[in-house]
Amino acid sequence: MGNIEDSAQPVATESVWQRPGFAAYIGTTAFSGMALAMQQLLYSWLLIGVLLLPADQVGLLQALVGVPGILLMLMGGASADLRDPREMLIWIYLLAPVLPLSLILAQQSGWLGVASVTAWGVGMGIVQSYSMPGQQAILNRISGPAIQAGVTTATAIGFIVQVIGLMLAGQMDVIGIAPVLFFQAATLVLAGLVMFRIPAVPHSTPASAAANFGIARRMRRTSQDIVAGIAATRQHVVIWQVLWVNFVSSIFNAGSFLTVFPFIVKRVFMGDAWTLALLMAVFFAGAAVSNFILLRYMPLRTPGRLFLLMQLSRIVVLYLMWIEPDFWLMLVATIGWGLNMGVTTNLARAIVQESAPAEFRGRILSVFAVGMVGSAPIGAILLGYLVETIGTLNALMPAMLVSLGLFLYGYLRSAIWDYQSPVAQT
């Protein structure tokens, strides 16, 4: 069995912070990540704690938010390869504040309900889905040969700002919904403004050529590029297998965090929005710590081994929650879950980013991201149903069984265990 020390191989590279535009990239992703972390808590608690909906309805509404983003994420990946993703992200972040500001208007007018909350949630889901591939494509170009360090640094700082966003969102029972939504709008504006400081990056299709495409031709070209991106993903065995492991894992594990976890807080621990915010913040703090630890040993020579071993360690964490522990042990288990998720998310993304051919990178990353986003609607519906039928804590059991199955598949039947990082070999 490999460990972090065995996987490390010293490589002399410049610091990723010396790369032009990297600090600005971290700034814009930090502001946007804070807004989207707030979204994660706000949407769940508005449905569960304010509108008081049952788990099966919450699952359906969480799925509804995720569905539009699947196609849009593939389109975002194609756009990231065909044009400067920086320009695309500037437009997205500067227009997105309309969504939380509209929900403030609905709340102040007495229209806060399932329809208005869902419309806001769908809109923010579209923002996240369309922007994610562009963000990742920019990171590859800015990080250069230090891609593992770039991914790890961006992921770790992303988790830190998620903690800040969650703590702010958790105050909505105290200061009200409107101030929290206004802060969300402000962080999106800042993300767009900081994006101007990132240097423009080259893209595969000249702007003049793209401008000459008619609407029908653009749609046909986008469809062809999406198909080409999926084909390129399938041609790379390790990328395709990592994508599937991550997809199945996200259905039951990320799904458990998004759908089951808030109901554990409300029904088992009788918590409020602040309790949920505290536990989610602890989760993401654990994820940040694990990424900073990983950064110490980057680049890893065999990242796939650690990625698969984390599937096993997750079983222990979920078991501790399943036995209905005291609150202090729930905190410990949540930290462990965050540590685990920080490693698996980082390594899956790093393997894909460092292996993807440059001409297809945006599209391959969008396929990878679709696997994560596309798993959310499936997990939300399935786990919301399980919460109401077999019980809140028992809904964690499928995730434990799936984690064991994924490790066995990855070790026995896939090329992930033996994957050698091309970055660590140089």
Structure tokens at 29: 């992703």
Residue 407 confidence (pLDDT): 97
Q: Quick check: 146 and 216 in contact, CB under 8 A?
A: no
Domain extents for the chain? Answer: 17-199+214-412
Q: What is the pLDDT of residues 56-84, one digit of tens each?
A: 999 999 888 877 766 666 665 555 555 67
The segment with the largest mean pLDDT, out of 84-88, 134-138, 161-165, is 161-165
Q: Angle of helix 237-249 relative to helix 397-412, nearest 10 degrees?
A: 170
Residue 217 confidence (pLDDT): 59
Q: What is the pLDDT of residues 338-364, one digit of tens each?
A: 999 989 988 998 898 888 887 777 678
Please report which confidence band the pLDDT of residue 10 belongs to, taking 50, 70 and 90 as the band edges. very low
Q: How far apart are CA 87 and CA 226, in angstroms?
A: 20
To the question of domain 17-199+214-412 being in CATH 1.20.1250.20, the answer is: yes
- What is the torsional sign of CA 368, 370, 372, 378? negative
Rounded to an integer, the average pLDDT of 36-56 is 91
Closest CA to 43 of 283, 276, 385, 369: 276
- Centre a 10 Å sphere on the Cβ of residue 37 and count the other Cβ atoms it contains: 27
Torsions phi, psi for 111 (to 5 deg): -105, 15
Q: Quick check: 159 and 342 in contact, CB under 8 A?
A: yes
Closest CA to 383 of 398, 371, 369: 398
DSSP state of 8: B
Q: How far apart are CA 46 and CA 49, in angstroms?
A: 6
Structure tokens at 106: 């609905």
Asked which of 220-224, 316-320, 375-379, 421-425 is least confident by mean pLDDT, the reply is 220-224
Q: How far apart are CA 313 and CA 119, in angstroms?
A: 38
- Cis, bond preceding 299 (omega within 30 deg of 0): yes
What is this structure's pTM? 0.76
32: left (phi over 0), alpha (psi -120 to 50) or beta: alpha
Rounded to an integer, the average pLDDT of 159-185 is 90
